[in-house]
Amino acid sequence: MATVLEMPASRSATAAPDASAQSSLLARLNRLFAGVRRDVRSARAYDDLMRLDDRTLGDIGVHRTELGSIIHHGRDDPTRRQR
């Protein structure tokens, strides 16, 4: 007759994950959602700036073609052409 081997309770599939695994999972989820929130804020800022007319953008020293770079890198990006 075959003997069925039982796994220790700490290794069973129904055992609750330990605190460090839960903490790691929560940290990963927080980073994921922080990235999503950052992307949503960036998209909203881009849309808001795209709604401005060219003259208004010029008054604040920005050309429409620079908006994506400014949203992504910031206005003080050293590679940005100075006006």
pLDDT digits 0-9 by tens, 59-72? 998 999 999 999 98
Can you tell me the distance from the alpha carbon of 42 to that of 65, in angstroms, rounded to the nearest whole number?
A: 16
φ and ψ of 81, to 5 deg: -70, 130
Asked if residue 26 is part of any domain, the answer here is: no
Largest CA distance in the chain: 87
Residue appearing with tokens 């060219």: 54
pTM: 0.62
Domain that holds residue 57: 53-77
pLDDT digits 0-9 by tens, 6-53? 555 555 555 566 888 888 999 999 999 999 999 999 999 999 999 999
Asked if residue 68 is part of any domain, the answer here is: yes
Asked if residue 63 is part of any domain, the answer here is: yes
State the total domains in the chain.
1
Q: What is the pLDDT of residue 75?
A: 76
Residue 6 vs residues 3, 11, 12, 13, 16: alpha-carbon distances, Å: 9, 10, 9, 12, 17
